[in-house]
Chain A
Amino acid sequence: MALPATRLKRVIGAVTAATMVAFVAACGSDDTASDGTVTLEFAQWWGAELPAGEFDKIINDFTAQNPDIKIKLLSAPYASTKQQLLTGAASKTLPDVVGLDGAWVNDFAKQGAITDITKLMADAGYDDSELASQIQLDGKTYMIPVVNFVYPLFVNKDLLTEAGVDKVPTTRTEFLDAAKKISASGGDAKGWVLPLDTAVPNGVQNDVMSWLWASGGSMLTDDGKPNLTSAEVKSTVEFVQSLNDAGVIAPGSLTMKEQDKVEKFSNGQVGMMIDSLAHINLIKENKPDLNFEVAALPAEDGFTGERGIPYASWGIGISDSTEHKAEAFKFVSYLMSQETNAKLSTIANGFPGNKTAEPDFSNSDPLFKAAFDIYQQGYPANEFVGLPKSEDLMRSFAEQLQLVLTGKTSVDEALAKAQENWSSVIE
């Protein structure tokens, strides 16, 4: 039965009006329900990297203990999360709770997008002595690392044995020697792999500066200014240059990405690499027969101090624009609690942000236990965390290092130029 034209118009009009009202209501809706239940949005990439359903269980435990708070997970891969948070920070529409990478903290804090957690901790009477670390700016905490992922040295034991190297190198000289022997052992394998792609320039952090931190060095002065022309940094870059000059670095470095590095190691094309512990499962899945182990990064000859080991974190922060800061911090403190943090670290194959939490290695690969021992013997080091425009800093350093490795400039000139670039960013 056809509707008369006037009635049809009224129906269309009513539907349009109802839709508009619903749209406007949705735009301006409060996330507090009429029964007082608060819904917190939590944007992160962790859910996408954990086994399916595991993160939901942890969240469900929290909501069972706190029936007045609901958590809406916004899970996406790392790169998508970064883009979404960048946009959200710029438009002051960040979700209530956000997963953070230490490299974003400075920029988000300066934009006023994430809030000072120190105040929330004080308001909640929270004891922060259990926290392994806090990412601070001007004495205020903006990010708490929840789970840490370290970057030890991965060694292909078969290649090392074939090359006649009987022990995993512990010093730079031993490393260069082992890399030379692997490269000279006949096949196509090279000693080391260095991804210096400038699209995602984290090779500077994980594969270059890690040598500096492993010898207790720093790329910054005590007051946080760039110190790239120091003897320590120069020695690190010269060491990388010596590896390049010796022809022990896998070819294609200048546009190589992290995933290429892992693939080359998995395929037995390189004997040693510095990589995230999180890739152990991936390597074992792709190459179950690969005979490898993890070790502490070699330090400068004669170095006896504590070794820094590079790390990346799943950090957490709270939006400055959320109306539910107290509830958001309640959720953060739940994730940092001894039991939950241990559970989360175990399923993530990472190390806990709570010093008293002990991950359960009973069902994990023994390599994780070995890495945990390395982690406990040294200290987590990543000086890019908390720096402004850290990706840009890495890129400008990578470009200078590329010039050194292609023989277009000297180490001194490259470091002076990098120092100049960094000084214009880190004020």
Chain B
Amino acid sequence: MTLTAPETSTRAAPAVPGRSRSTLTRRLVPYGYLSPTVLLIVVLMVVPIVMVIGYSFRDNVIVQENSVFAGFANYTKVLTDPSFLSALKNTAIFISVSTAAHLVLGLAFAMMLNSPLLGGVTKAIFRIVYILPWLFTIAVIAVIWRLLLDPAGVVNHVLQTLGLIEQGVNWFSDPSMALWAVSFVNIWAGYPFFMISLLAALQGIPGDLYEAAAVDGTNWFQRFVHVTLPQLRPVIISMAVLDLIWTSHQFALIWMTTGGGPLNSTEMLSTFTYKQAFSEYEFATASAAAVIVLLLTMVLAFFYVRSQRER
């Protein structure tokens, strides 16, 4: 025993630098694994965002070789543009109505699909029917609803046959109807995501909570208010914030149905920014508008992250 001790110590002495090397390598390995992702994030997200922020402080970017620093002039121009303010108002209405309706419809359908009153086959059929809108791409949805809501389309024909309207309604081309029409289409296209998520959350609520509530003599509504909703609260908050963010970025549906018209009644921040860039070639003001949208989205993202932390 005593003979081996000195040998061990003499071998251990030169091993110290090697150990430190291996410790360093071990420390660096995680960064090595992360580096492709970090590189992608930097190239695909950080660089474009920084470039857009940079453009927003210059004048005549992209179209002129020698653009000049313009300070906050582009922001002033955007924030005082009546079209931008109108787009901001339309976007606020569009995302609020869409998110609220997604939530109500998603919860209603999820509760229906979770109900013990329906048989297995019936539930399966309803699940397929309810989830269908989610399976279509935005382009298909836009084409379908443009046809359905055409003044000579099926919807007007049905409503006229039922005697609910006398003349065909110009759903997308009447300035007073267009915003509600695109909101309706967006609601139709988006509720299945809420429904699926809330259905999963409903199925995760322990049954003994309902049993205990039933023992306490509660009715259906009281169980919904005091058991179901509190249990769903974290999911509802996360979904609502995410939906607000996603809906605020909706571009394709608006562009393919109304293009922001008629008379700017469906102009959103996304379509406003697109027109500034690709129709007016005002990339600097488009960048300023995009940065403003980014900041507004970050406020929503802050609430989302906070709700996630609370969970």
| Interfacial residues, chain A to chain B (CB-CB below 8 A) | 83, 86, 90, 107, 110-112, 188, 196-200, 250-256, 260, 269, 389, 391-392, 395, 399, 402-403, 406, 408
Contacts and interface: CB of A to CB of B under 8 A. Distances in A.
Contact of A402 (B168, B256, B261): B261
A90 B63 contact: yes
Contact of B263 (A111, A252, A254, A391): A254
Q: Which 7 A-B pairs have the closest CB atoms?
A: A199-B259, A254-B262, A251-B151, A254-B173, A90-B62, A198-B261, A255-B173
A391 B146 CA distance: 23
Interface of B: 62-65, 146, 150-152, 168, 170, 172-175, 178, 255-264, 275, 278-281, 283
Contacts of B173: 251-256
A112 B62 contact: no
A260 B62 CA distance: 35
Nearest to A388: B281
Contacts of A389: 279-281
B240 to A, nearest CB: 30
Contacts of A188: 152
A164 B151 CA distance: 26
Contacts of B170: 251-252, 254
Given A112-B65, A197-B261, A255 B172 contact: yes
B263 A200 contact: no
Contact of B261 (A255, A260, A391): A255
11 contacts: A110-B63, A111-B63, A196-B261, A198-B260, A199-B261, A252-B151, A254-B173, A255-B257, A389-B279, A389-B280, A402-B261
Contacts of B146: 260
A391 B277 CA distance: 12
B175 A406 contact: yes
A199 B175 contact: no
A402 B263 contact: yes
A255 B259 contact: yes
B168 A251 contact: yes
| Residue of A112, A199, A200 with most chain B CB atoms under a 10 A cut-off | A199
Nearest to A92: B65
**What DSSP secondary structure best describes chain B's contact surface?**
loop
A406 B151 contact: no
Contacts of A110: 63
Contacts of B62: 90
Nearest to B255: A199
A115 to B, nearest CB: 16
A199 B262 CA distance: 10
A199 B168 contact: no
Given A269-B152, A395-B279, A107 B260 contact: no
Contact of B63 (A107, A200, A403): A107
Contacts of A392: 275, 279-280
A188 B255 CA distance: 28
A198 B259 contact: yes
A123 to B, nearest CB: 26
B120 to A, nearest CB: 43
Contact of A197 (B259, B275, B278): B259
A214 to B, nearest CB: 26
Contacts of A198: 259-262
B63 A255 contact: no
Contacts of A395: 275, 279
A255 B280 contact: no
Contacts of A256: 173
B258 A255 contact: yes
Contacts of A200: 259
B155 to A, nearest CB: 13
A83 B274 CA distance: 12
Contact of A399 (B64, B257, B263): B263
A410 to B, nearest CB: 16
Contacts of A251: 151-152, 168, 170, 173
Contacts of A391: 279
A254 B278 contact: no
Nearest to A111: B63
Contacts of B64: 111
A333 to B, nearest CB: 30
Given A260-B146, A391-B279, A402-B263, 10 more contacts: A111-B63, A197-B258, A199-B260, A251-B170, A252-B150, A254-B261, A392-B279, A395-B275, A399-B264, A408-B263
Contacts of B151: 250-252
Contact of A86 (B152, B168, B257, B278): B278
A199 B130 CA distance: 31
Nearest to A107: B281
B261 A403 contact: no
A269 to B, nearest CB: 6
A107 B280 CA distance: 10
A108 to B, nearest CB: 10
